[in-house]
Amino acid sequence: MSENPESKWFGEKPVEAEDKTGMVHGVFSNVADKYDIMNDLMSGGIHRLWKDRFIRMIRPRQGLRYLDVAGGTGDIAFRIRQKIGKKADITLCDLTENMLRVGRDRAINKGWINDFDWITGNAETLPFEDNSFDVYTIAFGLRNVTRIDNALKEAYRVLKPGGRFFCLEFSKVRNPLLSKGYDVYSSFVIPKIGKVVAGDRDSYQYLIESIRKHPGQRELQQRLQRAGFKNATFSNLSAGIACIHSGLKV
């Protein structure tokens, strides 16, 4: 398996690797203001249950440093903060300022604005020192990264020895009947909702295509191992529509 095969694809369109990150940035700049409502509409609220499950697997506790990469509007960071309380040490890092702006507004509404570090940055070249964090999370972010293998190596670099990696992402549905139904729903319904609610069919078309292009469970597990993670494993959610991968830096 060659490294970073996804770098030449923007959804299902072939692109030059050096153009892709800018295109992804454009998508999330456009959808930021409608991102949260669209998540609920597209998934019927199920993304909340997946994120709750993700947090239960992480088992957040006080005294550890958390880094939420592709943290966007804050769903994962807020859940960690909710579990730990005011003493939580959480950094969000995201490529797109507009997504972080929406996240900061949400944090203000919760009275939590000073409880997080908000950093603009790329998962492939994280602006943090080696061995800095105890827990690295990335939720629905990895499939948008131009070079996934580079991002996994960066995750490994910034984690402390003993640090844990957790990724929540769409994955491959194994049941053929469910897979067909899911395909029809995502191909025809989601871009239409995107057009009506967010006035942006193309961005939601990309988001659906990026799900289809994202590596399946086993491939991502192998790529985690190749990046150096031990105990790389995965757990399917909703028959594989989504999946949690985890790994350990020793």
Ligand X SMILES: C[S@@+](CC[C@H](N)C(=O)[O-])C[C@H]1O[C@@H](n2cnc3c(N)ncnc32)[C@H](O)[C@@H]1O
71 near ligand X, rule: CB under 6 A: yes
Q: Which of 89, 94, 149, 154 binds ligand X (CB under 6 A)?
A: 94
d(CA 73, CA 153): 24
User: Phi and psi of 25, rounded to 5°?
Assistant: -60, -40
Largest Cα span, the chain = 48
Would you say 3 or 174 has its CB closer to ligand X? 3
240 near ligand X, rule: CB under 6 A: no
3-state SS, one letter per residue, for 94-163: ECCHHHHHHHHHHHHHHCCHHHEEEEECECCECCCCCCCEEEEEEECCHHHCCCHHHHHHHHHHHEEEEE
Would you say 16 or 177 has its CB closer to ligand X? 16
Looking at residues 112 to 171 of the shown chain, list those that interact with ligand X (rule: CB under 6 A).
122-124, 139-141, 144-145
d(CA 193, CA 142): 23
72 near ligand X, rule: CB under 6 A: yes
Task: List b or e across 60-75, with b for residues whose CB sees 16 or more CB atoms inside 10 angstroms.
Answer: beeebbbbbbbbbbbb
Would you say 21 or 246 has its CB closer to ligand X? 21
Least distance (Å) between residue 17 CB and ligand X: 12
Q: Which of 7, 96, 210, 246 binds ligand X (CB under 6 A)?
A: 96
Least distance (Å) between residue 59 CB and ligand X: 18
243 near ligand X, rule: CB under 6 A: no
Query: What are the residues binding ligand X (CB under 6 A)?
Result: 21, 24, 28, 69-72, 75-76, 94-96, 99, 122-124, 139-141, 144-145
